[in-house]
């Protein structure tokens, strides 16, 4: 089975994340959207909300599961027998950052990272931009799946 983990904080899930997951469905037998838990980080949405947003967005897609995890992503991959890490790339800065992580992960394990370029229509969207729009009472609905409610 080709199982991929798509890790992130998803605070909140954006249309960019949604696009990568949807396109990944054709590449993998199962995609585990894995919400990392970091006690040091301040989130706009609590863990239950973030998980619910993603579950609702993919409620009709049996190949997508949503879980939470602590610790290193590669350790979690081994725990759930995921052979791949799926990541989206928006720009060259994302690539440089993600490349270093992918090389480290491959050095630690045999888990491969698969990169998908974001669609041109969503390449400008980030969770931090969405949070800023929300904080300033802007129309964030054009940046996130319908499941994201404030």
Residue with tokens 């491969």: 112
Catalytic residues: 17, 41, 90, 127
Classify burial at 125, counting beta carbons within 10 Å of its beta carbon; exposed 0-12, middle 13-18, buried 19 or more.
Answer: buried
Could you please report the per-residue DSSP string of 73-140? HHHHHHHHT--EEEEEE-SHHHHHHHHHHHHHHHHHSSPEEEEEEPPTTTTT--HHHHHHHHHTT--G
Token pair in block for residue 82:
């995921």
């Amino acid at each position: 089975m080709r199982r991929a983990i798509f890790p992130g904080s998803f605070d909140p899930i954006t249309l960019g994340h949604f696009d990568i997951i949807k396109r990944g469905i054709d590449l993998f037998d199962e995609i585990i959207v894995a919400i990392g838990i970091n006690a040091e980080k301040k989130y706009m949405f609590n863990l239950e909300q973030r998980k619910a947003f993603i579950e609702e967005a993919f409620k009709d897609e049996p190949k997508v599961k949503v879980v939470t995890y602590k610790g290193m992503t590669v350790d979690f991959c081994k725990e759930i027998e995921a052979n791949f890490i799926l990541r989206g790339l928006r720009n060259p800065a994302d690539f440089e950052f993600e490349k270093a992580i992918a090389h480290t992960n491959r050095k630690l394990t045999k888990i491969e990272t698969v990169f998908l370029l974001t669609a041109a229509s969503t390449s400008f969207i980030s969770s931090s931009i969405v949070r800023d729009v929300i904080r300033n009472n802007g129309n964030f609905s054009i940046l996130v799946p319908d499941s994201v409610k404030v």
